[in-house]
Amino acid sequence: MVKTPVQYNKKQRRLVMQENVAAYAFLLPFLIFFVGFVLYPMFMCVYTSFFDATMGREDIFVGLKNYQDLFQDEVFWIALRNTLVIVVVSVPITCIFSLWVASAISKMPVAATSAFRCIFYLPVVTGSVAVTMVWKWMFNNYYGIFNYLGKDVLGILDKNINWLGDEKYALWCIILILLTTSVGQPIVLYVSALDNVDKSLVEAAEVDGATPKQAFWKIKWPQMMPTTLYILVITTINSFQCFALIQLLTSGGPKNSTMTIMYYIYYSAFKLYKYGYGNAMGVILAIIIAILSALQFKAGQEK
């Protein structure tokens, strides 16, 4: 059947036009911000990545040289490896832990659920600098609480461990802190998603003899997939963009063992004034995040 286009008279056309104008007027403030603070910087990032750009002189076009240098830069590969370790470790743990906590607290009385939600959300709303400084004190080699407990109280350490100064431990300390600041939002989202699960389906499954485990995985879990997908994507992006912790705690050291792509971008651009090089790294990071997010969406849709 051939679809005939809708014919509007003059008055209707004017009304449609008015509605369009109103819609664009509503969109305008956001569009200005989106173009000014997202699209334009993105374009400039890609554009500048083809230049030898630094402070105090005109940029020099170098084509793909920044990208070539990048792939021959040992520190970039270390940073990429560390970033991937952070993502691979923190994303699954964040999701699983959040789901477990949310499942546990959602069965509690309302007041208890709210209290736990607040507790887990506190590190998210507390300033990252304050949180990081407290962790820095706890990890301190000389008077930190971890060494005090391990050596003086429990006696499981022979001597103090320089948690943030030893390349064996530093990255894992960063991941631990990242986890504490990452789980708050997923827990809140999962609690909300569990509340929204259609109770009649769960009851019907239980009447049909489904165990609590089966009811969770066969009924609740599929209904929470959109939330899980969102959490996966957001946590992945946040893990890739881990920066403040590194800057405040280790500056990428010791011996680049906590260097991440985000910190290396900052370091190249703001410490060494290699703007083009930093932007090239930013482009590569954006591509990696885009590919991973697309894969996650694809996997989520298939489910």
Partner 1 sequence: MKKVIALLLALVMVLSLGACSVEKTVETQAPETQPAATEGTQAAAPEAAGDPVEISLWTYPIGKWTDEATVSALLADFNAAYPNITVKVEYLDYTNGDDKVNTAIEGGQAPDIVMEGPERLIANWGAKGLMVDLKDIVPAGTFESVLSSCTSADGAVYEMPVCMIAHCMAINRDVFEAADALQYLNEETHTWNSVEDFFKAVQAVYDAGNEYVGTIYCGGQGGDQGTRALITNLSGGTYANAEHTEYTYASQENAEALAKLYAQDGITFDTAIQAADEIQAFVNGTFQMAFCWNIGQEVTNADALSFDVLPMAFPSDTTPSLQGGIWGFGVFDNGDEAKIEAAKTFIKFMTEDDAQYIKAVEATTYAPVRDVEGVYATDELFPEYNLLSPMMGDYYQVTKGWTQARTEWWNMLQRVSATDGSVEAILAEMETAQTAANAAAAAEG
Which residues contribute to the site for partner 1 (CB under 8 A)? Answer: 15, 18-19, 21-22, 25-26, 28-29, 32, 55-57, 139, 141-143, 162-167, 170, 250-251, 253-255, 270-273
Distance CA 101, CA 218 (A): 19
Residue closer to partner 1 by CB (options 184, 278) is 278
Residue closer to partner 1 by CB (options 18, 196) is 18
Task: Output the smallest distance, CB 63 to partner 1, in A.
Answer: 19
Task: Output the smallest distance, CB 233 to partner 1, in A.
Answer: 29
Strands 60-61 and 51-52: antiparallel
Task: Output the smallest distance, CB 162 to partner 1, in A.
Answer: 6
Residue closer to partner 1 by CB (options 26, 100) is 26
User: Are 54 and 275 within 8 A, CB to CB?
Assistant: yes
From residue 224, alpha-carbon distances to 124, 194, 219, 267, 299 in Å are 22, 7, 9, 40, 14
Residue closer to partner 1 by CB (options 56, 63) is 56
SS3 per-residue string spanning 57-73: CCCEECCCHHHHHHHCC
Residue closer to partner 1 by CB (options 166, 198) is 166
Distance CA 118, CA 176 (A): 20
Task: Output the smallest distance, CB 142 to partner 1, in A.
Answer: 5
Whose tokens are 């893990």? That residue is 239
Task: Output the smallest distance, CB 141 to partner 1, in A.
Answer: 6
Cα angle 77, 83, 85 (rounded to 5 degrees) comes to: 105
